[in-house]
Amino acid sequence: MSERRTHHPPQSTETSPKRSDARRNTQKILDAAATLFVTSGVDVSVRDVALEAGVGMGTLYRHFPTRADLIVAVYRHQVEACVEAGPALLSSEASPYAALRAWIHLFVEFLTTKHGLAAALQSDKPSFDALHAYFLDRLVPVCAGLVEAAAEAGEIRPDVEALELMWGVGSLCSNSNKELQVNARRLVDLLLTGLRRVAA
């Protein structure tokens, strides 16, 4: 009689700690790149990004083989952070207007890291086009939800359009005058104050 053998699936050689390390390295690289994009622009040396993240060049290139891959990843990561912040702010801030204001300032921070993205990706135009559509698809509905909540609470004018507001904020943040860039938050606050509904 032949001996019955029980089949045991092979054990995975990739352990959970390895996957956790990979996720941590990805996050460190994205955070470092976002910081350096603000201070040095998107043309910053990838070696500087690796140093800031505390990882080797091989690790960086395993996660992001090209500069464009890194820029796109930072862009998407920060878009998703803005998306997640919308509902969280509505539930934690004192009022819908306060939530809208806090979210718009997060959006301002995002725009500063986006500066120079188009030039960096000009050799890969389809990728940039896809990012622009992704930006609108993900962020406009979040802004619209905040605007609608503030309007329903009677805190802002009822005729405010989310896309119009976002373009206005973007215009203030993209001004080529360096002094105005420094004061972007103040200018955006002036814009937001103009949305307030004046009591009769």
d(CA 168, CA 137): 18
Nearest 5°: the CA angle 103, 104, 107 is 90
Per residue in 34-60, pLDDT (tens digit) is 888 878 878 889 999 999 999 999 999
Task: Confirm whether 9 is domain-assigned.
Answer: no
Residue 200 domain-assigned (yes or no): no
- Residue-by-residue DSSP string for 173-198: HT-S-HHHHHTHHHHHHHHHHHHBPP
In which region does residue 66 sit, left (phi positive, over 0), alpha (psi from -120 to 50) or beta (all else)? beta
Structural domain of residue 143, as residue ranges? Answer: 74-195
Q: What is the CA radius of gyration of the chain?
A: 22
92 and 24 together in one domain: no
* 126 and 27 share one domain: no
The verdict on residue 28 lying in a domain is: yes
Of 9, 30, 65, which residue sits at a domain end? 65
Total tally of structural domains belonging to the chain: 2
pLDDT tens column, 96-121: 999 999 999 999 888 876 666 656 65
User: Which residue stretches of the chain have pLDDT < 70?
Assistant: 1-18, 113-129, 175-182, 198-200
